[in-house]
Chain A
Amino acid sequence: MTAPNPNTKTTTRADNARTVRRLLLVVVGMFAFGFALVPLYEVFCDITGFNGRTKNEQAAANQRSIDTSRTINVQFITRINQGMPWEFKPEVRSVRVHPGETKVVQFYAKNLTDHDMVAQAVPSVAPGQAGLYLNKTECFCFNQQPLAAGSETLMPMQFYLDPDIPKHIHTLTLSYTMYDMTAHTQPDVVASLEARPTAE
């Protein structure tokens, strides 16, 4: 029996069915929303630079002015994900750059195991806001990196800082974590990647 007007049993049943349908829609909608949070989170972090996200794609090497009045200290940190038997380090720990100026930094990696491996470096920038102004025109982190057993390689990373970078940023830290992707890569992909010449 509904509250506003005492109804017959059949209309109550119809009311109930309608309410249930609506509530089930909410449930399905919230389930979809839960998964939609994944792309929403990506977009949100990309736009705001929260969470130290960097633009992990090739930036255009366009014409730009170099702001020689400012110098920013860019530091490099490298980490190996737990249990990965590689050596991975930057050639220099930090460089001083003017906003707009292009720099190349080499990263050294060595596979200490006796089997071929594929790795992926994932970047993160602190402070998070600075990530929006770090543009990479070339980076080993754009692709997976294969390395044959026991071999070593130098991997280049070319970048410039957007001249619009906020005035209060004097130092920024770029961190790379190297992950073992061998298990996630198909064997034939490993083979074809290895066929490519690696940077020496």
Chain B
Amino acid sequence: MSTAAGEMTHHDHHHHAPSGLTRWFFTTNHKEIGSLYLWFSFIMFLVGGSMAMVIRAELFQPGLQLVEPHFFNQMTTVHGLVMVFGAVMPAFVGLANWMIPLMIGAPDMALPRMNNWSFWILPFAFMILLGSLFMEGGGPAFGWTFYAPLSTSYSPDSTALFVFSIHIMGISSIMGAINVIVTVMNMRAPGMTYMKMPMFVWTWLITAFLLIAVMPVLACAATMVLTDKYFGTSFFDAAGGGDPVLFQHIFWFFGHPEVYIMILPSFGIVSAIIPAFSRKKLFGYSSMVYATGAIAGLSFLVWAHHMFTTGMPVGAEIFFMYATMLISIPTGVKVFNWVATMWRGAISFETPMLFAIAFVVLFTIGGFSGLMLAMTPADFQYHDSYFVVAHFHYVLVSGAVFSIMAAAYYWLPKWTGHMYDETLGRWHFWCSLISVNVLFFPMHFVGLAGMPRRIPDYALQFADINKIVSYGAFAFGLSQLIFLWVVIKCARGGERAPMKPWEGAEGLEWTIPSPAPLHTFETPPEVK
């Protein structure tokens, strides 16, 4: 691949950039919006993380120690909502904004003004959500899954605010997804065919289609909760002819594709980093593309595996059990391809690669516990226990979050123009790796032993393990402050990053200078 060398010459004239705050309010530049998304998601990561610290402090010892049960419920609920909609998803949208135009040789996202909107409505959504915690009766306390009737008959008065914040988050995600699809379909540089696109672009394209397909369904569920609670409808109210189980069907029809929305971009990130540090091409590129598509397609057929204990007929349970297990095949293809990429590669272990390898191992552990949960008879034991908590934190924290960390380390030199502090990066990695396992691995055991999730107290025999888990949680929380330090240090200075700081890295983003100038690829590069 080569690029038009002339694009550098005209990147900072005739640009009337507003200064100060208005620069950030009115920006339509994909790199600035990407940075806004990434900073926002990191702030939300710390907010949601401090709620997790409250949860773990309460569970440090059996008995009620620090907070009221109702407040504990608000913490588990809002921790989940903030991490899913505030930390993981905006981080991926931020990475998409920054990297997709650079990867496909486009001058910007296709719809820059909408891009500005899709970011700037997000802070308001979270102001509404977090503000509701301070209202009389408290904020949402019904779990991030807001099952009816917990969210209708038994919910606090602030539920309308919760619903509106979900609506705004949904609109933001849909606008972001439309932007990604239009950009990828219409803005690729000449010669950049679909099957030449980097895996990150592919996984994000498929994620964006999942987003526009299921975020409207989430909006439906939230709207029905709103009208059931405030306008006397009976979608989920058995007394009026509705059915609370219907809520779970609608919610998980959104919810299961949603979990792939939170992991497919990770696959793309890891598929960029592992080849770069193995100094080999990605093994089985086209099978990676098809596997991603297969996972996305199957994600619409497995939602009821979250509902095995609702009294479904055996035939339906068997269908959803096998459909769920089928997903492990394309996922296995991916894991195999990453390992095959590393096989006999000249591997070096810089921080992005460390996080990527940890992702492969720990995500696979989460995948295995997912297979255990997929088995209907076994699920009756695991359901709503800490085993489930361990499972989804393995795929979301040591999976999605680790991949976002890997991406940040990998592309920080391109964003800031400086190399990050490798020693600190490794400290961050090893502290996170050890503490994340101390935090989540023992949860499998208390879960299997019968400790239910979302309860502020537990039986005495779980005390020792919960203490260990809480120590892991505090250590993991503190470790993330190292990351904050690394990023600030890297943004403020450091060794100058070359155009391509990673020897084995491939892609158009490494053909532009570091830091990436505000405007790139105004003349499209030629991709051969």
Contact = CB atoms under 8 A, between A and B. Distances in A.
A92 interface: no
> Closest 7 CB pairs between A and B?
A34-B220, A179-B239, A31-B216, A3-B188, A30-B216, A34-B217, A15-B186
Contacts of A179: 238-239
A16 B182 contact: yes
Main SS class of interface, A: helix
Interface in A1-30: 1-3, 5-6, 12, 15-16, 19-20, 23-24, 26-28, 30
Interface stretch (A35-43, A64-72, A149-157): A35-43
Given A3-B190, A34-B221, 20 more contacts: A1-B106, A1-B524, A2-B187, A3-B191, A6-B190, A12-B110, A15-B185, A15-B186, A19-B182, A20-B178, A30-B212, A34-B217, A34-B220, A34-B250, A37-B246, A38-B224, A41-B243, A51-B243, A128-B313, A184-B239
B178 A184 contact: no
Given A12-B186, A16-B111, A128-B313, A38 B246 contact: yes
A23 B181 contact: yes
Interface string B213-238: 11111011100100000001001001
Contacts of B250: 34, 37
B192 interface: yes
Interface string B108-150: 0011000000000000000000000000000000000000000
A48 B235 CA distance: 20
B313 A35 contact: no
Most chain B CB atoms below 10 A, which of A6, A38, A120: A38
B102 interface: no
Contacts of A177: 238
A38 B37 CA distance: 35
Given A1-B189, A50-B313, A23 B182 contact: yes
Interface of A: 1-3, 5-6, 12, 15-16, 19-20, 23-24, 26-28, 30-31, 33-35, 37-38, 41, 45, 48, 50-52, 81, 120, 122, 128-129, 177, 179-181, 184
Contacts of A120: 239-240
Contacts of A181: 239-240
Interface of B: 106, 110-111, 174, 178, 181-182, 185-193, 212-217, 219-221, 224, 232, 235, 238-241, 243, 245-246, 249-250, 253, 311-313, 316, 524
A199 B273 CA distance: 76
Given A34-B217, A51-B243, A120-B239, A6 B524 contact: yes
A129 B214 CA distance: 31
A34 B246 contact: no
Contact of A51 (B214, B215, B239, B311): B311
A15 to B, nearest CB: 5
A27 B111 contact: no
A12 B187 contact: yes
A166 B111 CA distance: 60
Contacts of A41: 243, 246, 249
A129 B313 CA distance: 9
Contacts of B214: 30
B106 to A, nearest CB: 8
Nearest to A181: B239
A6 B527 CA distance: 12
Contacts of A122: 238-239, 241
Given A37-B249, A179-B238, A19 B212 contact: no
